[in-house]
Amino acid sequence: MALINHAKREINAKIVYFGSPGAGKRTSLNYLHSRIKPSLRSEVKTVAASGDQMIFFDFSPFEQLIMGGYRVRFHIYSLPGAVSNAAAWRMTLKGADGIIVVIDGAPGRGADLTESLDRLRDYLAAYGGGLDNVPLIVQINKHDLTDGSAAPSSECYPRGGLTICRSSALKGDGVLEAFSALSHQVIERVGHDLHGAEPQPGEQPETREPEHIAPEAGIDEPQDETLCRPAGDNARLTVALSGDITADGSTLLSVPLEISLGGERRTVVVSLTLKD
């Protein structure tokens, strides 16, 4: 579940890019990072993780406070390249609030989806989780290397119980669409967590920092299962486009969103800076 820091009034959600070597995890993470306003994000960092290299950064998607005065912060992780130790993936996936499974969509890699989902299922089972317990998007990358008969790279659509997004990460096509599709699912769950974890008057608020994994961190440390608990249907959070997306010149996009939670509505504007 998302980590809620009541002292800072901040909600921290962990998202992991998972997939086979060469599928485009690092490229997708770096492209996402490049499209976020610098004032809203950290730099991409690299640390050792069970003999492999983990990359991560964090950012806040909204400049305004939302959901009862709390700010949402996403923490984005991945293990690029070939991973030599399965413990590194288990450590990275621990506590994930959402997962983007990046698949190599180039010709001859048709088995990647089944193999990646099988591995992911095994890693999540190490913590008693499963594919049905966490928001998940499948991003089929290198779409531009196919024969062009499939759907456009920016399209996300359901198939067999999964949401499929096609991308060309090197060009940036479809990367933001895949992340947006996942973040909507994660924020909806965060709304339940926030409503259930809000401290009552007179109670000492419980806090916990984001789980940036240090090089020496193990994989068996216990998780705090009391930090968040689910709420009822009246805590359902929805995010919807509230107007037209507008462009200020050629580099700035303004995206108006309406966020509803527990009968309360708020309109926010997300600013996206376009870079060459």
Instruction: Write the pLDDT tens digit of every residue in 50-108.
Output: 889 999 999 988 766 666 678 888 999 999 989 999 999 999 999 999 999 999 887 77
Asked if residue 64 belongs to a domain, the reply is yes
Asked if residue 272 belongs to a domain, the reply is no
Asked if residue 226 belongs to a domain, the reply is no
Asked if residue 118 belongs to a domain, the reply is yes
Asked if residue 124 belongs to a domain, the reply is yes
Task: Find where tokens 């193990």 sit.
Answer: 218
Asked if residue 48 belongs to a domain, the reply is yes
pLDDT of residue 147: 53
End-to-end CA distance of the chain: 36
**pTM score, whole prediction:** 0.68
How many folded domains does the chain comprise? 1
pLDDT of residue 106: 77
CATH number at residue 132: 3.40.50.300
Q: What's the Cα-to-Cα distance from 170 to each of 17, 37, 167, 173, rounded to whole Å?
A: 16, 20, 9, 8
Asked if residue 159 belongs to a domain, the reply is yes
Per-residue pLDDT tens digits for 190-236: 776 666 555 444 443 333 333 333 322 222 232 333 222 233 344 45
Asked if residue 70 belongs to a domain, the reply is yes
Domain that holds residue 99: 3-200
**Dihedral sign from CA coordinates of 271, 274, 15, 205:** negative
